[in-house]
Amino acid sequence: MAEAITPRSQDYSQWYTDVILRAEVADYAPVRGCMVLRPYGFALWENIQQGLDKRFKATGHQNAYFPLFIPQSFLQKEAEHIEGFAPELAVVTHGGGEKLEEPLIVRPTSEAIIGYHYSKWIKSYRDLPVLINQWCSVVRWEMRTRMFLRTTEFLWQEGHTAHATFEEAEAETRQMLDVYDDFAAKEAALPVLKGRKSDSERFPGAMTTYTIESMMGDKRALQSATSHNLGQNFAKAFEIQYLDRQNELQHCWTTSWGMSWRIQGAILMAHGDDQGLVLPPRLAPIQAVIVPIYKEEVDRTPVLEAARRLKKSFEGSIRIHLDDREEHTAGWKFNEWEMRGVPVRIEVGPKDVAKNQVVLGRRDMPGKEGKKFVSQDGLTAAVQALLDEIQTNLYNKALKFREDNTREPKNYDEFKEAVAESFARAWWCGNAECEAKIKEETKATNRCIPLDQETSKSGGMCIYCGKAAKEKAIFGRAY
């Protein structure tokens, strides 16, 4: 931990890489665009998984596992789908020493293979809805990669559901968007914008794609999860049909929705600072670290004993770590755990032992402001309360940051200025050409058409072409 992390103001992208490598969150793999999720990063991912999985189950979903390999011909059944994914596929051509008759695709997403199975399993309206989620890794060949945000292989979950009606499918699609929003807000401390994607940003094969978008520390947007109403497109391509109550054959309506380890990148980028990571308490692998402090040998035993006793008292309620390594100074440890983003530091020295107290330091307020003396009696409750406070503070800070950096430009000149350094909320006519021109001229993309539109029904004028516009969209430079 000798080298310092590049400051964000100097090179944001380098700061991001430095933090990830230095905090041992992840490492580059020897295969281009691939990544290793190291134990500290994986522990964060496990907490993300738990937070999502319990929400999926509470809304009636079950997990399952579908194969890694998809026959090439399956992907070709839905025209838009294959067109969208063709350039990104990894292809297995040989197995067991022989050339395969039909190449196999390493799944880039599983609509095709799951559609095939749903068509076998679903017979009657009584089998509906089918509500299944899968945790797995998928592969999309990426040319320009960045850890967590764009990797050739990534871990994710993908939900796939089938319904009897359009309305049910739409309700499911929106419900899962709300689930992602709830998870992002409450667990990841990330305020998100919920919206619809424009046609050009839609998932290949979907009728409607919804998204949650968050703002990173450099004011760029990050698409953090998507939920797709697939209409009957996949049901028709894969013949997913059911007999309705009148005994007539109908096509199902299907949805899919996913969140990937990208959200981990969002967490690191949205909350981190020049000292390193700042992890939201609810997801932090270590919520509080105890650092024993002593200089004289005589103090060693009482301080370590107190530290160990405290550690024991936290077990089962707080994810606690005691750093009792002998080879490092307390100061070195402070830096180390700050860099790793541990929300609360608990210092115990000889004076604290004597006074039955500890010093609590909070990661979101480094320096004196965030330090306080607290009695060892009832310490677990005090730390729990502090963790809650930090969680709320991180969310509020991120929300204020986004609000401070979202503008409402009145004309295209203001718009260009705005998107160079913030989000812009602007009237948009719905035309893909305006969207493309804006991207070409400003590098800003249409992130979403927020679900939450102002109540004004009169509409306005498209920020680019000036024609009548019914909705506002959020534009910004994005990852």
Chain residues that interact with a second copy, rule: CB under 8 A: 27, 29-31, 34-39, 41-43, 45-46, 62-71, 74, 86-97, 103-104, 106, 113, 116-117, 120-121, 126, 132, 136-137, 139, 141-143, 152-153, 155, 327
Closest separation in Å from C-beta 214 to a second copy: 23
> What is the C-alpha to C-alpha distance for residues 152 and 259, in angstroms, rounded to an integer?
16
Closest separation in Å from C-beta 477 to a second copy: 25
Closest separation in Å from C-beta 36 to a second copy: 5
| Single-letter code of the amino acid located at 218 | D
Question: What's 367-429 look like in SS3?
Answer: CHHHEEEEECCCHHHHHHHHHHHHHHHHHHHHHHHHHHCEECCCCHHHHHHHHHHCEEEEEEC
For residues 107 and 202, which CB has a smaller minimum distance to a second copy in the complex? Answer: 107
| Single-letter code of the amino acid located at 407 | R
Closest separation in Å from C-beta 58 to a second copy: 13
Beta strands in 164-207, from DSSP E residues, in sequence order: 193-196
For residues 89 and 169, which CB has a smaller minimum distance to a second copy in the complex? Answer: 89
For residues 67 and 331, which CB has a smaller minimum distance to a second copy in the complex? Answer: 67
For residues 143 and 432, which CB has a smaller minimum distance to a second copy in the complex? Answer: 143
For residues 329 and 356, which CB has a smaller minimum distance to a second copy in the complex? Answer: 329
Determine which helix (DSSP H) or strand (DSSP E) holds 214, and give its type and residue range: strand 208-215
Six-digit token string for 223? 């698409």
Tell me the sheet residues that pair with 320: 288
For residues 62 and 396, which CB has a smaller minimum distance to a second copy in the complex? Answer: 62
User: Which of 271, 267, 179 shows the shortest CA–CA distance to 226?
Assistant: 179
Q: How far is CA 356 from CA 291, 308, 373, in A?
A: 16, 14, 10
Closest separation in Å from C-beta 271 to a second copy: 22
Closest separation in Å from C-beta 61 to a second copy: 9
Q: Which residue do the tokens 């680019």 mark?
A: 464
Backbone dihedral angles phi then psi of residue 226, each to the nearest 5 degrees? -135, 155
> What is the C-alpha to C-alpha distance for residues 142 and 130, in angstroms, rounded to an integer?
32
Closest separation in Å from C-beta 380 to a second copy: 21
Cis, bond preceding 129 (omega within 30 deg of 0): yes
For residues 118 and 464, which CB has a smaller minimum distance to a second copy in the complex? Answer: 118
For residues 264 and 391, which CB has a smaller minimum distance to a second copy in the complex? Answer: 264
| Single-letter code of the amino acid located at 52 | L
Report DSSP state, residue 318: S
Closest separation in Å from C-beta 116 to a second copy: 6
